[in-house]
Amino acid sequence: MSTEKNHSPFNGYVMLLVIFLLAIGGVALLRIYIGPFLLLAAIFCIPGFVLVNPNSSRVLLLFGKYIGTIKENGFFWVNPFYNKRKISLRASNFDSERLKVNDKLGNPIMISTILVWRVTDTYKAAFDVDDYQNFVRVQTDAAVRKLASMYPYDNFADEGLDEDITLRSSVNEVSEALEKEVQERLSMAGIEVLEARIGYLAYAQEIANAMLKRQQATAIVAARHKIVEGAVSMVEMALHELSKKELVDLDSERKAAMVSNLMVVLCSDKDVSPIVNTGTLNH
């Protein structure tokens, strides 16, 4: 037997009535030789009662042999010699510890995962692994370490990378990859992964400040790029409109001066102070 099979136990209430009648008969016939045997039979049957709560199960063993699994909830009676191991079928949460690993670029990061899982095959959970709950913890940590090494924390243009998926920005893609990786590892224990996602993500302490400055510098450069791009378009439009409406005749030198002044005004991050020139351009 290498797969789970359902076991149909005897109704516990009916057996409770039978034991009660045996006990009554044993007491009534105590002076006759059959009375003690009835009492012993009633006492022998008592350990066979088993209570199965909703979303719970009992794995039955008889001297090391797998008999079956009770998944139906209720009050039952089974062979008193059966060993009854309880395995929960409820969904469980696992919040891993924060692990220090290296991402694809070799940067040390701190990462943890939140896993939602449940047992679907009680035979595998009970007999194919030593401790299925500890198995979940260890294999989840291993999957997180592998996932972190597959993707960079973030995508920086100066590294020459064109990564579409990063740990920081691609939440859905990373979660799907993590869920698939964890499911492959836990399937041998009869466990289904309901959800897996990154719970915590940050650079390690020794490089956190440097990376923060780097991100700020990248943001500033990107903003400046947009500002310059917009300023050039506005200067081009201003020169075009002046030329179109023939408001003033600008030679190359005056155009260069006007472009310089407009770029300073548009690209400056501080308020500018206008200067009124009452002479010519050269005086």
Contact predicate 167/88, CB 8 Å: no
Contact predicate 210/218, CB 8 Å: no
What's the average model confidence in pLDDT over 203-214? 69
The band of 215, judged by pLDDT with boundaries at 50, 70 and 90, is low
**Per the domain annotation, does 121 fall within a domain?**
yes
**Per the domain annotation, does 5 fall within a domain?**
no
78 and 147, same domain (yes or no): no
What amino acid occupies position 16?
L
Tokens found for residue 135: 């198995």
> Nearest CA to 167 among 225, 102, 123, 77?
102
195 and 105, same domain (yes or no): yes
> Nearest CA to 149 among 184, 101, 192, 185?
101
161 and 249, same domain (yes or no): no
**Per the domain annotation, does 277 fall within a domain?**
no
Last residue within a domain, chosen from 42, 70, 87: 87
- Look up residue 126 and give its DSSP letter: I
CA gap 109, 100 in Å, rounded: 6
**Per the domain annotation, does 273 fall within a domain?**
no
Beta strands in 48-148 (DSSP E): 49-52, 56-62, 65-70, 74-77, 83-88, 92-95, 99-102, 108-119
Q: Which residue has the higher pLDDT, 155 or 109?
A: 109
- Look up residue 93 and give its DSSP letter: E
126 and 191, same domain (yes or no): yes
Please determine, for residue 1, whether its predicted confidence score (pLDDT) is greater than 50: no
Q: Enumerate the H helices of the chain as residue ranges.
A: 12-28, 34-45, 122-123, 132-150, 171-186, 205-245, 252-267
Last residue within a domain, chosen from 164, 183, 203: 203
**Per the domain annotation, does 253 fall within a domain?**
yes
What's the average model confidence in pLDDT over 248-265? 68
Last residue within a domain, chosen from 62, 87, 112: 87
**Per the domain annotation, does 272 fall within a domain?**
no
- The pLDDT > 90 percentage for the chain reads 42
96 and 83, same domain (yes or no): no
45 and 130, same domain (yes or no): no
131 and 188, same domain (yes or no): yes
Other C-beta atoms within 10 Å of 248: how many? 9
Question: What's the structural domain count of the chain?
Answer: 3
**Per the domain annotation, does 198 fall within a domain?**
yes
> Nearest CA to 167 among 201, 139, 142, 140?
201
Contact predicate 132/186, CB 8 Å: no
- Listed in sequence order, the residues at least 6 apart from 37 whose beta carbon sits closer than 8 Å to its beta carbon are 26
Contact predicate 124/4, CB 8 Å: yes
195 and 122, same domain (yes or no): yes
191 and 171, same domain (yes or no): yes
65 and 108, same domain (yes or no): no
60 and 79, same domain (yes or no): yes
pLDDT digits (tens, 9 = 90+) for 15-68: 999 999 988 988 888 777 788 888 899 999 999 999 999 999 999 999 989 999
Q: 138: domain CATH number?
A: 3.30.479.30
What's the average model confidence in pLDDT over 111-121? 93
Give the domain extent around 192. 92-203
Q: Average the pLDDT over each of 82-86, 110-114, 205-209 and give the range with the smallest value.
A: 205-209
194 and 122, same domain (yes or no): yes
Contact predicate 35/155, CB 8 Å: no
**Per the domain annotation, does 39 fall within a domain?**
yes
pLDDT digits (tens, 9 = 90+) for 148-194: 888 888 775 555 455 578 888 888 888 999 999 999 999 999 999 99
pLDDT digits (tens, 9 = 90+) for 2-24: 788 999 999 999 999 999 998 89
Three-state SS for 37-56 is: HHHHHHHHHHHHEEEECCCE
